[in-house]
């Protein structure tokens, strides 16, 4: 039976075993992500283009990132909310626009709040992931499929998903 406690992209970079890294990558690649624009939410997923999202928030590049520390770290909601506020402040300091977003496992549970940042460079995206201790983010260019960026080296157990980049 599938683990229904799987978080969306965002476990910490700490001491995560290789097998768990591979499991998280598979789960995050299968997760559903939503950005809130106005009063509507727009779905995007790894491996697919996101034309609805791109029509709502026009940019050249898109970054889904969270500052939450869900399982295996399991920070409290107030701690996660404070970390997310620090992320918002950091994005503002960098001059990056962003919209509220979230990720959840593909059964609709295990929600992580995050944001969709607009026009971050790949270097900024990876630096932010490391700064906020994230195991993975989503990053893509307009009109291209959404890609999962794992911040660890690729473990031997990883399934070779063509839309997952192992940054290391």
Q: With contact defined as beta carbons under 8 Å apart, do 46 and 163 qualify?
A: yes
Residues 42-75: tens digit of each pLDDT: 999 999 999 999 999 999 999 999 998 865 557 8
The model's pLDDT over 107-140, given as tens digits with 9 standing for 90+, comes to: 766 788 999 999 999 999 999 999 998 999 999 9
Radius of gyration (C-alpha) of the chain in whole angstroms: 14
Encode 14-34: b = buried (16+ Cβ within 10 Å), e = exposed.
eebeeebbbbbbbbbbbbbbb
Q: What contacts 114, CB < 8 A, 6 or more positions away? A: 8, 9, 10, 64, 65, 66, 67, 68, 84, 101, 102, 103
């Amino acid at each position: 039976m599938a683990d229904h406690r799987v978080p969306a992209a965002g476990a910490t970079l700490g001491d995560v075993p290789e097998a768990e890294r591979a499991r998280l990558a598979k789960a995050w690649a299968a997760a559903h992500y939503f950005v809130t624009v106005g009063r509507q939410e727009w779905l995007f997923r790894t491996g697919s283009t996101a034309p609805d999202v791109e029509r709502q928030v026009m940019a050249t590049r898109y970054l889904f990132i969270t500052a939450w520390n869900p399982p295996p770290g399991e920070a409290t909601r107030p701690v996660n909310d404070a970390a997310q506020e620090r992320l918002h402040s950091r994005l503002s300091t960098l001059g990056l626009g962003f919209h509220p977003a979230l990720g959840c496992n593909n059964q609709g549970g295990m929600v992580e709040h995050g944001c969709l940042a607009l026009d971050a460079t790949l270097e900024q995206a990876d630096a932010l992931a490391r700064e906020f201790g994230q195991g993975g983010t989503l990053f893509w260019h307009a009109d291209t499929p959404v890609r999962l960026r794992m911040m660890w080296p690729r473990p031997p157990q990883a399934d070779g998903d063509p839309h997952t980049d192992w940054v290391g």
